[in-house]
Amino acid sequence: MKAGRGDDSDRAAGGPARHVPVLLEEVLSALAPREGGLYLDATFGAGGYTRALLAAANTRVLALDRDPAAIAGGAGLVARSQGRLMLEQARFSALAEVASRGGFAAFDGVTFDVGVSSMQIDEADRGFSFRFDGPLDMRMGRDGPSAADLVNEASQERLADIFFYYGEERLARRIASAIAMDRVARPFETTLQLAGLIARIVPHKVNDIHPATRTFQALRIAVNDELMELVTGLTAAEKVLAPGGRLAVVSFHSLEDRIVKQFFAARTGRGRAQSRLLPGEPVPPPPTFALCGRQPVAAGEAEQARNPRSRSAKLRWAERADAPARGHDQELARLASLPALPERRR
């Protein structure tokens, strides 16, 4: 899990926790905000990155968040920004459409802070954490099927795939089988009900991470379609960035970071052989980004000590080149997708 997207002066709506944006100085250094620049914060949260961009120079910012609580919490910042901030409720996969509707184009920088925020984790009624007993929900946008719907209605085979691919859970089949058996007598409704089942069937030691951690991560990713959102958001950012504009992405676990890393590798031509093409071999498209500096960038010791949730954070960033945007990337989409289930024999 990760720290929220707020700053020290903000408190999450409905919760007492204070929120510290992760790798804030490093993200600002990567984006290098300039006077009159136009920037897009694709994951507003409690406004930490947006506030820093507004304070760094006379910038304009379009900020998005799919969570209505984040939008409501940002109303005061919008009012104080004197027209320099536009805040919209939207998934970041829709950032190009939102920008077009608002009359924005050619951004000088786009930033993503991927995953669930601490203000969502800290609210028991959101159902993201088994630290509290709450409804098994996990919906960032409060719409669509919940985690309870998925746990109670998905096939045992699909649940096992979700836990294995999105949670990297080695005992995915065992957990899915236990869920399928127990839900017949009593549907799963709360976070502690599910966490308790997993704790009973997964061997673990006292000092280990809670055995439900990977399963809860997997459910959250599946409920919110987080990995495909990331893939689509990255290609949308490529479309709206001006040449010389910068894209900075902070991720918190290996699944997200793998997608970001491969996106930049493909878009920069990194690892591509420089030898002459074979007869009939298609000419690769020109790079749309240039990587900058040593990457990934991790939180320093002081930040990790101050904010333990920053320990897993990784920042990757690159500068937009002149080449046209490439659009949808099938290889990246495969990284975000579960394998197709085999058809059952009749």
Least confident interval from 120-134, 140-154, 211-225, 294-308: 120-134
Least confident interval from 65-69, 132-136, 278-282, 290-294: 278-282
Domain residues for 29?
Answer: 24-118+226-271+283-336
Residue 14 lies in a domain: no
Q: What is the mean pLDDT of the chain?
A: 89
- Check whether 280 has a pLDDT greater than 80: no
Same domain for 159 and 72: no
Please, which pLDDT band fits residue 128 given cuts at 50, 70 and 90?
confident
Residue 16 lies in a domain: no
Same domain for 201 and 325: no
- Check whether 8 has a pLDDT greater than 60: no
Please, which pLDDT band fits residue 117 given cuts at 50, 70 and 90?
low
pLDDT for position 120: 67
Say if CB 41 and CB 20 are below 8 A apart: no
pLDDT for position 277: 67
CA distance 33 to 29: 8
- Determine phi and psi for 320, rounding to 5 degrees: -70, 135
β-strands 289-291, 314-320 pairing: antiparallel
Domain at 265, CATH number: 3.40.50.150
DSSP conformation letters of 219-272 = HHHHHHTHHHHHHHHHHHHHHHEEEEEEEEEEE-SHHHHHHHHHHHHHHHTTT-
Would you give the DSSP letter of residue 283?
P
Number of other residues whose CB lies within 10 A of the CB of residue 86: 18
- Check whether 206 has a pLDDT greater than 90: no
Residue 204 lies in a domain: yes
Say if CB 151 and CB 197 are below 8 A apart: no
Mean pLDDT of 67-85: 95
Residue 7 lies in a domain: no
Residue 10 lies in a domain: no
Q: Say how far residue 137 (Cα) sits from the centre of its chain.
A: 18
Domain at 210, CATH number: 1.10.150.170
pLDDT in tens, 158-189: 999 999 999 999 999 999 999 999 999 999 99
- Check whether 15 has a pLDDT greater than 60: no
- Check whether 36 has a pLDDT greater than 60: yes
pLDDT in tens, 79-106: 999 999 999 999 999 999 999 999 999 9
pLDDT for position 12: 30
Mean pLDDT of 114-119: 73
Same domain for 165 and 307: no
Mean pLDDT of 256-272: 91
Please, which pLDDT band fits residue 255 given cuts at 50, 70 and 90?
very high
> Which residue in the block uniquely carries the two structure tokens 């689509």?
232
Residue 108 lies in a domain: yes
CA distance 135 to 193: 10
Spell out the residues 6+ positions from residue 289 whose beta carbon is closer than 8 angstroms to its own: 238, 247, 264, 267, 268, 318, 319, 320, 321
- Check whether 1 has a pLDDT greater than 50: no
Per DSSP, the chain holds a count of helices (H) and strands (E) of: 16, 8
Structure tokens at 208: 């280990």
pLDDT for position 212: 95
Number of structural domains (the chain) is 2
Strand (E) or helix (H) holding 61: strand 60-65
Strand (E) or helix (H) holding 120: helix 118-121
Say if CB 184 and CB 126 are below 8 A apart: no
* Closest C-alpha among 43, 101, 94, 32 to residue 70: 43
Same domain for 188 and 237: no
